[in-house]
Structure 1
Amino acid sequence: MFLANANLEERRKDKKTELKVGDKAPVFEGFNDQNKKWISKKYASKKIYVVYFYPADMTPDCTKQACGYRDALAEMDRKDVEVIGISGDTVENHQHFKREYKLNFTLLSDTDGKIAEAFGVPTDKGGEIERKISGEMIKLKRGRTAKRWTFVIDKQWKIVYKDTAVKAAKDSTKVLEVIKRLTSPSGSLPLAPSS
């Protein structure tokens, strides 16, 4: 009986955090790649935000995804968009990742998975990998491993796009199309990610 109640409570918790297009985005905070606290309340209503969750710094698909955003950022800036990448990596890992790939947007550390939880993004246990960075082998540890999900949040702090089946290399291109629709005179948006 206790186990059944615990499972029911867990399902309720999952449903409670299931965010849909049209929902208000959660307020969240975390330490950025400069080890400064980034608080969403300070930025809500100022820009359009792309908030993307990814499993781990310095891994092949996550690097493709991050570099896609890096390369698309100039166009996104013109549309008044800010990109925030979030993973369970440490601030130090993010610093290595940004430096190695010349990333030009904010990365937030979510080692305990609280930001992912607020968005309803599933996480798993953390992990560690070793990578050669600037000629030196570095061990990169992360507290949690998030699923690859992407959200676009408008200036009213509402979720206008959610993709739970992200293709890493194509994510920035798909999101840029959403941004173009959102910022067009008609402001039309798809309710689900386009294929």
Structure 2
Amino acid sequence: MGLQVGDKIPNFSAKDNDGNDFESASIIGKKPVVFYFYPKDNTPGCTAQACSFRDKYEDFKDLGAEVIGISSDSIASHEKFIQRYKLPFILLSDSDKKIRNLFGVKPNLFGLLPGRVTYVVDKNGIIQLVFDSLVATNHIPRALEIIKKLV
């Protein structure tokens, strides 16, 4: 059983797309955050999802929220993905799947694909939405709707 609505986000650390250390404690408790787990950089669904978050990023920022993408891709892969699609938000490398396991994100499609799950967290670090859908672009309006209710 993974993290659910009402649970507090646990502390975790990872390398970001620039190779810097990211600590969840640096953002949790300070502002609302959208953490979205996705299968793989540069695949059609994941690119559509990332670009949809990119296109709505200013809406999230205007509401005081941050967007952070997480996949098992390498730092180098994330950097190329960000540059290619001009993504304005952080991507975290979870190559050992520790964060995915910490959140309890399950694989999809008979275990063939890493799961695609979005978590919306309020400024106190409490999960307000867990949205699990293979349809990549459905995540963005749902996340934005919850963030709007939080502010």
TM-score computed with the length of structure 1 as normaliser: 0.73
Q: 1:170 aligns with which of 104, 119, 138?
A: 138
Query: Which residue matches 2:122?
Result: 154
Question: Is the Cα–Cα contact under 8 Å of residues 35 and 91 in structure 1 kept in the other structure?
Answer: yes
Q: 2:38 aligns with which of 54, 57, 77?
A: 54
Overall identity of the aligned pairs, in %: 41
Query: Which residue matches 1:86?
Result: 70
| Cα 1:50–1:166 shift into 2, 3 Å | farther
Give the RMSD, CA atoms, in angstroms: 1.5
- Residue type of the alignment partner of 2:89: F
Unaligned ranges ≥5, structure 2: none
Question: Is the Cα–Cα contact under 8 Å of residues 31 and 124 in structure 2 kept in the other structure?
Answer: no
Query: Which residue matches 2:59?
Result: 75
Post-superposition offset of 1:112: 0.6
Distance (Å, rounded) in 2 between the aligned partners of 1:154 and 1:100: 30
Post-superposition offset of 1:37: 0.5
Runs of 4+ in 1 over 6 A off after TM superposition: none
Query: How many residue pairs get matched?
Result: 148
Higher Cα radius of gyration: 1
Q: Deviations over 1:80-114 (max 9, x none)?
A: 10000000000000001000000000000000100
Question: Is the Cα–Cα contact under 8 Å of residues 29 and 40 in structure 1 kept in the other structure?
Answer: yes
Question: Is the Cα–Cα contact under 8 Å of residues 17 and 75 in structure 2 kept in the other structure?
Answer: yes
Moved more, 170-179 or 75-84: 170-179
| Structure number having the greater strand percentage | 1
Post-superposition offset of 1:48: 0.4
TM-score computed with the length of structure 2 as normaliser: 0.93
Post-superposition offset of 1:167: 2.0
Query: Which residue matches 1:137?
Result: none
Higher relative contact order (CA 8 A, sep 6+): 2
Distance (Å, rounded) in 2 between the aligned partners of 1:48 and 1:167: 23
Question: Is the Cα–Cα contact under 8 Å of residues 13 and 21 in structure 2 kept in the other structure?
Answer: yes
1:110 aligns to 2:110 (yes or no): no
- Residue type of the alignment partner of 1:92: A
